[in-house]
Structure 1
Amino acid sequence: MKNDDFEKPKKIDKNIAKRLLKYAKPYIWQFVLAIAIIFVIVAVELYQPVLIGDVVDKFLSRYSGTQANTVDAGITQQSNIQGVIKISLAYLSTVAVVFVLGYAQAMILARAGQKIIYNIRMEIFTHLNDLSISFFNKNPIGRLVTRVTNDTEALNEMYTSVIVNILKSLFVLIGVVITMFNYNVKLSLLTFTVIPFIAVFTFAFESASKKIYREIRSKISALNAFISEHVSGMKIVQIFAVENEIFHKFKSENEKLRKENIKQLFAFSIYNPTNYLMNITAISILLWFGGKMVMEGVVSIGTIVVFQRYISKFFEPIQELAEQLNIVQSAMAASERIFGLMDEVPEVMDSENAVEVESFKGSIEFRNVWFSYKEDEWILKDVSFKVNPGESVAFVGATGAGKTTIQNLICRYYDIQKGDIFIDGINIKDIKVSDLRKNIGQMLQDVFLFSGDIKSNIRLQNDTITDEEIIEASKYVNAHSFISKLPNQYDEHVIENGAAFSAGQRQLISFARTLAFKPDILILDEATANIDTETEVLIQDALKKLMKGRTTLIVAHRLSTVQNSSKIIVMHKGEIREEGTHQELLSNKGIYYKLYKLQYEHA
């Protein structure tokens, strides 16, 4: 898979819409209620121009100032005023009804929308946890963060307002057309001559904005990836003093996003005035032909006023539809990438007949194993060895020999192409991945600590591990001595990646973490590299305690750390070249002997 395969649209909009509606299905009754409220709101809003028309036709158009001096005229004027007040109160009542129902509808949709976005975000993050390590090696973290945050948020407004408001706009358009035709067919047909032009402009705008929004989401994703990568690597940037070069690269990425946003604003700035022009044109047609019809006695002045109000109401939803389509395009562009990520299939999955394993005795066997990260570039070539329960086996050799790869394969971060790997006589492909990994404790050279506190970094959200067990594990691996001296001890705040702690302290915390999870098999990958001598004494003592009674696999370049291993396996270019104890390998005077001699000659 290429770096950004999941960035590319994989489904047509119709299928994406179906998938988006699937998330709304559990909240269908909330949406039905919101639509029912919208229907009532539209009916009330469509009745408002009728009230205004009644005021004009029944009271205002009949009133003449020359009648003011007669008694009858005074009575008539008083009656007209009362009629105007009565209709005005009715109009205010409709405004109050629209306000209350609008608030209720907004609250219903907001609650449902937030639940939907919550569920989508949880599903994406859960899926990310299931994806294989190879996926994260190929895809920038910034892009993945964009999927979980920015892109899901882009869907929020679509669920909370757009879906129902599009229906509202359609209800208004249909209601306006029906009502206007009910008043006067000829005047309605004359007024609606602008509709074909509106349709053409709207289609062109929708088509252009669709492409633009796809590019905007892509550029946001690329920019987030760039920021994430270079903030994480800021130390390297400053070490090599390439701040200016990085700034110019960021400026370039930022400029790409700016240009796409300008395109979107340009498209909208053309559509809005065009829509307004059509509105004015429709009103001009109304005044020209409607004025003649009033003078001819065909229609009343009130009808012209009602038509003017309905024309405004007709163009309001068209304007809203354009804005809603804007949001829909943004949501569609985001959902294409979300579903692209969701459609990623993990390379490592449980088999149909995977068995649950509570614990391991600790025997490990590689049988004719071949493995490559890239096709036909073999990292391991026909590797076979066996580790008995409780043994400590070290893997040594030059960089790229395949030592760390063996450990990754045991944990099934990758699947092999040929051969078999067994634990306790069971093929690891037949063991549930979660059971396999929870029984293997792996400690790496580069310890990762999460933001939070020390307790949460040892427990890793596993609430079955008590505070007492955390302290006990820390004491056992010599971590308690420095933790107890901290101001807040086990509640001491940990910044991202534990930058406030030394490498040795981070390593001791990782030992406590590993012990707290009680693994049956232990994997150590350069666990004592880059540690000062004083701390190494503590770490070596902790390692001895951790390794006691456990099958342990060790990768180390420093041969002094593996001399007491039950067995040492020498790797060279993906193959096992030598196997035996420290003394046996020295007496053979092969690759191990040369490595040992080379290290101690330069010691």
Structure 2
Amino acid sequence: MSRVQEGQGERGVSDRPDATAGAQDKPPATAPGAGPGGRPGTMVAPPRPPAGGGPFGRGPFGGGGMPAEKSLNFGPSARRLIHRLDPERPRIIAVIALAVVSVVFSVIGPKILGRATDIIFNGIIGRQFPAGTTKEQAVEAARASGHGDFAEMLARMDLIPGHGIDFQALATVLTWALGLFVAASVFGWLQGYLLNDATQRTVFRLRADVEAKLHRLPLKFFDGQPRGELLSRVTNDIDNVSQTLQQTLSQLLTSLLTVIGVLAMMFVISPLLAVIALVTIPLSMVVTGLVAKRSQKLFVAQWAHTGGLNAHIEEAFTGHELVKVFGRGPEVEEVFKERNEQLYKASFGAQFISGIIMPLMMFIGNLNYVAVAVVGAVRVATGAMSLGDVQAFIQYSRQFTQPLTQVASMANLLQSGVASAERVFELLDAEEQEPDPAEPVRPTARRGRVEFEQVSFSYDPDKPLIEDLSLVAEPGHTVAIVGPTGAGKTTLVNLVMRFYELDGGRITLDGVDITAMSRDDLRSQIGMVLQDTWLFGGTIRDNIAYGSPQATAEQIEAAARATFVDRFVRTLPDGYDTVIDDEGGNVSAGEKQLITIARAFLADPSLLILDEATSSVDTRTEVLVQHAMAALRTDRTSFVIAHRLSTIRDADLILVMEAGRIVEHGTHDELLAAGGAYHRLYSAQFSGALVPADEGTGT
């Protein structure tokens, strides 16, 4: 026989002045339409209202955004993101090697093209002198005529007086240049291919890590996270990280190598011009640093406001029926406009400020170009440099400032990507549920005996909910749990499922402490039907088979017949192959509930939990389902949470809970005869519905 022992403490939860606020069936205010999220019992709390409050802080038209108060910790987050590439080290090494070869070929190209310019220039100047004149004679003639600078220039040129352009030598040089540029492009393509492979593998692992992390997080984490905000981290932020890795790694590597190679060639050609070009580096770094410092906070705010807006949209559209029914459309639109405006301002500010970098860098690059061109022209005129070297140096100066400009222009993308990475890392760093024991224990026999031993639990340490609770549910018995909203009924069964960890005491299943079992093993022995139904996009057959993926078609249909699903499925055009959406929009609420009951029936658990499982079923169907539930409860322990007291009259044990404590227990007839809390509930439901609480039953 099932038995109950009431808490032994001198002061119960109800003795505390704030006990009523702390005693709840579920964590506060689940969002409309917030289903189990793929697991029974999962509840998602709405976002908190924005600072300053508002008239609609709850429900589908309430909830605040996610303020970006925390500044971006750029350095550690960027290093952590780079370290996620460690498994791709061989590919990264190959990428670096290919980039080096590609950049070397690209850097040599302008020097060779400078040689082609010299061949053309030498031919043009050489043709102006009569044939048969030697180079020395031409130099002396220019010097004798008072053109000393021109004479010095002629002395440095490789020309033959009277001869024009050497097209054979020009063709050879251009062929070499073309070959180098083609080779550089091929190696660059190979580098991009390998880098793309490495980054996408890294993002693949990041998504897998996030998915695995979500399964290791306790239910209380999801209670405090708006679903839209969480989805934004898992989708938008990871996609942004992928884009950042893909674009910045390749350009940063190539740009860095290009700067090094070009700088070396510039010093080889002219140390003076190289020093002039180097003046732009500190100036560029100062400009980039100032702009990036101003933009990084805006990028943090941008992605935080994106998550907040997603949370509001997801919440509003999930509960769109309530929004329409209560006429809250204007308020929803106002909240949307407000958050959209916040996102617009943050995004515009971040993109505008970071976008200033490119024109500033182009301006600095143009100043560098003018300085190099002027000084180079003077040195050619004085014979200190050849025209080809000046041309090559100008190309190098462009190649030198271009990667600096690219790095600067990537600052906004890098800031945005690292901000997204930090949001993902916050999710990965969230406190996980207690791990399963290294050597889990399994009950020797599956009987379904459940025992609570001095169990204590609270959602908030300052507001105790369940204190010193002890009870035993014997195998094959049905234990009904009744009480007012907020009494702790659903919390009780959630503790059995180990959705939350106890503050004290223990719960055993067939004599084994549930904390000594693995969660998968524990939950494999429990079937659960919730008041809030959850169906995924697929066929009716697939939704029923969710309870037992290995079930045959005959077993699925047998479960459907036992729970009266078969009777309405046969009326559908496609029968069991009828496709329903994730919210079951093309079947009624009662039919959705029947499908979830069939799912639990098919699982054939040793312990069954029914949380208002017939609340959406019509009266006639309820009678049929009660017969199905009687068959389903045979030889297994059942916990039934019910507000309709008529549905639990045949329960072996009825527990009456108030403020987290069991105030009465017994059979239906025993509790009615006692004239206590159960009698008041029963009378209020069937005979005193119109009597005010303070004038009639007092409940």
Same fold (TM over 0.5): yes
Counterpart contact for 2:443–2:509, Cα < 8 Å? no
Count of residues in correspondence between the two structures: 602
The secondary structure found in structure 1 opposite 2:471 is: strand
The secondary structure found in structure 1 opposite 2:651 is: coil
Range with bigger deviation, 235-244 or 188-197: 188-197
2:432 to 342, 346, 352: 346
Q: Which residue of 1 aligns with 2:326?
A: 240
The secondary structure found in structure 1 opposite 2:451 is: strand
Range with bigger deviation, 351-360 or 219-228: 351-360
Shift of 1:449: 0.7
Q: Which residue of 1 aligns with 2:304?
A: 218
Shift of 1:69: 9.9
1:190 to 255, 276, 279: 276
Aligned partners of 1:529 and 1:282: how far apart in 2?
77
For 1:166-191, what per-residue CA distance to the aligned partner results, in whole angstroms no more than 9, with x for missing partners? 12111111111111111111221123
Aligned partners of 2:438 and 2:505: how far apart in 1?
20
Q: Structure 1's 589 and 124: CA in aligned 2 closer, same or farther, altered over 3 A?
A: same
Q: Which residue of 1 aligns with 2:92?
A: 31
For 1:138-187, what per-residue CA distance to the aligned partner results, in whole angstroms no more than 9, with x for missing partners? 11001110111111111112333422431211111111111111111122
Q: Structure 1's 358 and 328: CA in aligned 2 closer, same or farther, altered over 3 A?
A: farther
> How is 1:434-513 mapped onto 2 (pairs within 5 angstroms)?
434-460=520-546, 463-513=549-599
Aligned partners of 2:444 and 2:170: how far apart in 1?
82
Aligned partners of 2:125 and 2:381: how far apart in 1?
18
State the structure with bigger RCO (CA 8 A, min sep 6), 1 or 2. Answer: 2
Aligned partners of 2:351 and 2:659: how far apart in 1?
57
Aligned partners of 2:579 and 2:431: how far apart in 1?
37
Aligned partners of 1:250 and 1:374: how far apart in 2?
31
Q: Which residue of 1 aligns with 2:35?
A: none
For 1:217-255, what per-residue CA distance to the aligned partner results, in whole angstroms no more than 9, with x for missing partners? 111111111111111111111112221221121111111
User: Given residue 640 of structure 2, which amino acid in structure 1 is its aligned partner?
Assistant: I
For 1:324-347, what per-residue CA distance to the aligned partner results, in whole angstroms no more than 9, with x for missing partners? 332221121011111111111134
Shift of 1:348: 4.7
Greater share of residues in helix: 1
The secondary structure found in structure 2 opposite 1:496 is: coil
For 1:55-75, what per-residue CA distance to the aligned partner results, in whole angstroms no more than 9, with x for missing partners? 111333431495599799999
Shift of 1:42: 0.5
The secondary structure found in structure 1 opposite 2:84 is: helix
User: Given residue 53 of structure 1, which amino acid in structure 2 is its aligned partner?
Assistant: G
Aligned partners of 1:461 and 1:204: how far apart in 2?
58
Q: Which residue of 1 aligns with 2:418?
A: 332
Counterpart contact for 1:48–1:91, Cα < 8 Å? yes
Q: Which residue of 2 aligns with 1:44?
A: 105
Aligned partners of 1:42 and 1:127: how far apart in 2?
41
Aligned partners of 2:286 and 2:68: how far apart in 1?
31
Counterpart contact for 2:548–2:602, Cα < 8 Å? no
For 1:545-568, what per-residue CA distance to the aligned partner results, in whole angstroms no more than 9, with x for missing partners? 211111001111111111111111
The secondary structure found in structure 2 opposite 1:486 is: coil
Aligned partners of 2:129 and 2:623: how far apart in 1?
110
Q: Structure 1's 460 and 110: CA in aligned 2 closer, same or farther, altered over 3 A?
A: farther
Aligned partners of 1:326 and 1:466: how far apart in 2?
55
Counterpart contact for 1:9–1:337, Cα < 8 Å? no
Counterpart contact for 2:529–2:600, Cα < 8 Å? yes
Counterpart contact for 2:451–2:470, Cα < 8 Å? yes
> How is 1:292-441 mapped onto 2 (pairs within 5 angstroms)?
292-351=378-437, 354-357=440-443, 360-441=446-527
Q: Does 1:541 align with 2:627?
A: yes
Range with bigger deviation, 40-49 or 150-159: 150-159
For 1:508-551, what per-residue CA distance to the aligned partner results, in whole angstroms no more than 9, with x for missing partners? 11112112222110011111113212221332122112111110
2:377 to 291, 309, 313: 291
Aligned partners of 2:79 and 2:438: how far apart in 1?
29
User: Given residue 528 of structure 2, which amino acid in structure 1 is its aligned partner?
Assistant: Q
Counterpart contact for 1:348–1:414, Cα < 8 Å? no
Counterpart contact for 1:38–1:168, Cα < 8 Å? yes
The secondary structure found in structure 2 opposite 1:238 is: helix
Taking structure 1 as the reference length, what is the TM-score of the superposition?
0.94
For 1:391-427, what per-residue CA distance to the aligned partner results, in whole angstroms no more than 9, with x for missing partners? 1111112222221111111111112212222211222
Aligned partners of 1:423 and 1:153: how far apart in 2?
44
User: Given residue 37 of structure 1, which amino acid in structure 2 is its aligned partner?
Assistant: L
Q: Structure 1's 218 and 449: CA in aligned 2 closer, same or farther, altered over 3 A?
A: same
**Structure 2 gaps, min length 5:** 1-44, 49-64, 134-159, 690-699
Range with bigger deviation, 87-96 or 225-234: 87-96
Shift of 1:498: 0.8
Range with bigger deviation, 46-55 or 156-165: 156-165
Q: Does 1:520 align with 2:520?
A: no
Q: Does 1:126 align with 2:206?
A: no
The secondary structure found in structure 2 opposite 1:119 is: helix
User: Given residue 619 of structure 2, which amino acid in structure 1 is its aligned partner?
Assistant: T
Counterpart contact for 2:537–2:582, Cα < 8 Å? yes
Shift of 1:349: 3.8
Aligned partners of 1:277 and 1:14: how far apart in 2?
29
Q: Does 1:62 align with 2:148?
A: no
Aligned partners of 2:262 and 2:479: how far apart in 1?
81
Range with bigger deviation, 589-598 or 32-41: 589-598
For 1:348-376, what per-residue CA distance to the aligned partner results, in whole angstroms no more than 9, with x for missing partners? 54245542458631111112222211123
The secondary structure found in structure 2 opposite 1:100 is: helix
Aligned partners of 1:211 and 1:324: how far apart in 2?
16
The secondary structure found in structure 1 opposite 2:466 is: strand
Aligned partners of 1:434 and 1:87: how far apart in 2?
72
User: Given residue 236 of structure 1, which amino acid in structure 2 is its aligned partner?
Assistant: L
Q: Which residue of 2 aligns with 1:530?
A: 616
Counterpart contact for 1:363–1:551, Cα < 8 Å? yes
1:148 to 211, 231, 234: 234
Aligned partners of 1:257 and 1:325: how far apart in 2?
20
Counterpart contact for 2:436–2:518, Cα < 8 Å? yes
Q: Structure 1's 410 and 69: CA in aligned 2 closer, same or farther, altered over 3 A?
A: same
For 1:125-144, what per-residue CA distance to the aligned partner results, in whole angstroms no more than 9, with x for missing partners? 22112212211111100111
Q: Which residue of 2 aligns with 1:561?
A: 647
User: Given residue 284 of structure 1, which amino acid in structure 2 is its aligned partner?
Assistant: V
The alignment yields a C-alpha RMSD, in angstroms, of 2.6
Shift of 1:602: 5.0
Range with bigger deviation, 401-410 or 54-63: 54-63
Aligned partners of 2:268 and 2:90: how far apart in 1?
34
For 1:259-313, what per-residue CA distance to the aligned partner results, in whole angstroms no more than 9, with x for missing partners? 1122123223322121111111111111222222111111111111011100110
Q: Which residue of 1 aligns with 2:5?
A: none
Counterpart contact for 2:292–2:354, Cα < 8 Å? no
The secondary structure found in structure 2 opposite 1:413 is: coil
Q: Structure 1's 27 and 211: CA in aligned 2 closer, same or farther, altered over 3 A?
A: same
Computing the radius of gyration over CA atoms, which structure comes out larger, 1 or 2?
Answer: 2
User: Given residue 381 of structure 1, which amino acid in structure 2 is its aligned partner?
Assistant: E
Q: Which residue of 1 aligns with 2:180?
A: 94
Aligned partners of 1:462 and 1:314: how far apart in 2?
64
Aligned partners of 1:38 and 1:359: how far apart in 2?
64
Counterpart contact for 1:6–1:344, Cα < 8 Å? no
Counterpart contact for 2:123–2:166, Cα < 8 Å? no
User: Given residue 109 of structure 2, which amino acid in structure 1 is its aligned partner?
Assistant: Q
Taking structure 2 as the reference length, what is the TM-score of the superposition?
0.81
User: Given residue 341 of structure 1, which amino acid in structure 2 is its aligned partner?
Assistant: L
Counterpart contact for 2:445–2:510, Cα < 8 Å? no
**Structure 1 gaps, min length 5:** none
Aligned partners of 1:599 and 1:463: how far apart in 2?
41
